[in-house]
Amino acid sequence: MKSPSSSLKVLVLAAALAAPAQSALAWGASGHRMIGVLGASTLPEDVPAFVRSPYGVAAIGEYAREPDRWKGSGKVHDHDRDAAHFLDLDDEGRMFGGPKFTVETLPATRADYATALRAVGQDEWKAGYLPYAMIDGYQQLVKDFTYWRILVAAEKQTTDAQKKAWYAADLKRREELLLRDLGVWAHYIGDGSQPLHMSVHYNGWGDYPNPNGYTQSRGTHGAFEGPLVKAVAKDDDVKAKMPALRDCACSYETRMVGYLTTTWKLTEPLYQLEKSGGMVAADPRAKAFVDERLAAGAAELRDMVTMAWKASADGKIGYRPEISVADVESGKADPWNDLFGKD
């Protein structure tokens, strides 16, 4: 996937023309909390300590539940946010109707995506826009870390008592905001590890060819991500399945494509598990599947936060001209006006 400055190479998906939008819920409270806590608690030591602290880890775990807790705020609020949790892919990973968008051709911006969907009688509320929610959250986190780096440098360097006090206070505000932004974003990373949030078959196989006789139960989605997870998933077991930290040496968008594609490919194996009677707490196959998916979400969160932290070293703030982290850390630039405000 290319960066938005060229063409976005991300996972494209959409719903069938008649398919209803999914529920906003993905993993239940237990699953989202676990992904947030395990992702944050396994961050490398070069990530700032406040993120990895017991308070920070716990806060990220709780904030990771927040987008589901928003549900029911009101029609406008919910309608705008519910589709951020999912992508509806057909069995070939393509969208229905009109241009056959693929993994390689999702438009660079959500506005372009919406325009393309409207052209074929679809809309993003039915199709879902999870990739854009993930990119938005990543870019926000890079900016948050950029401000954090600059505030730390500015507080150390200034000899002005009033400025030093303001920098210290603003650094605390930035840290609280960063934990909140990171935690909310962790929710969407978690959504991306749940196969039923990546498919048109999101709650029973639905009105599609079904030669293998997979379940049509409308309770499939909730039973998998909620009660089953709560019954079988344990922190230590999930943590043990997390792969080692991986630097893909690629763009965030490219990494995200691989992550979401892997999840989508597990949709049919999940239905096969259910058909064989294995999607119950007493069956070790259910625990293995659940643990692996939660571990994938937690590991991706850890790796993507690490990626955002590294990217922030090259970050900039301000307008006309921008100032870089490097210039502030070296003493070349004074960030006061850009931090406190120059109006």
| Coil, strand or helix at 295 | helix
Mean pLDDT of the region 278-288: 97
CA distance 147 to 127: 35
Which residues touch 76 (CB under 8 Å, ≥6 apart)?
Answer: none
Residue 231, both tokens:
């019954």
Asked if residue 132 has pLDDT above 50, the reply is: yes
Residues of the chain with pLDDT > 70, as a percent, come to 90
Mean pLDDT of the region 182-202: 96
CA distance 242 to 303: 11
CB environment 63-85: b (16+ within 10 A), e (fewer)? bbbebbebeeeeeeeeeeebbbb
When pLDDT is cut at 50, 70 and 90, the band that residue 22 belongs to is: low
CA distance 281 to 231: 6
When pLDDT is cut at 50, 70 and 90, the band that residue 201 belongs to is: very high
Residue 176, both tokens:
């609280």
Determine which of 12-21, 199-208, 270-279 has the lowest per-residue pLDDT on average. 12-21
pLDDT of residue 99: 52
CA distance 198 to 219: 17
pLDDT in tens, 24-37: 467 999 999 999 99
| Mean pLDDT, all residues of the chain | 90
Residue 40: name the closest of 312, 326, 304, 330 by CA.
Answer: 304
pLDDT of residue 166: 98
User: Are 4 and 109 spatial neighbours (Cβ–Cβ below 8 Å)?
Assistant: yes
Q: Which CATH class is domain 35-88+128-335?
A: mainly alpha
pLDDT in tens, 135-154: 999 999 999 999 999 999 99
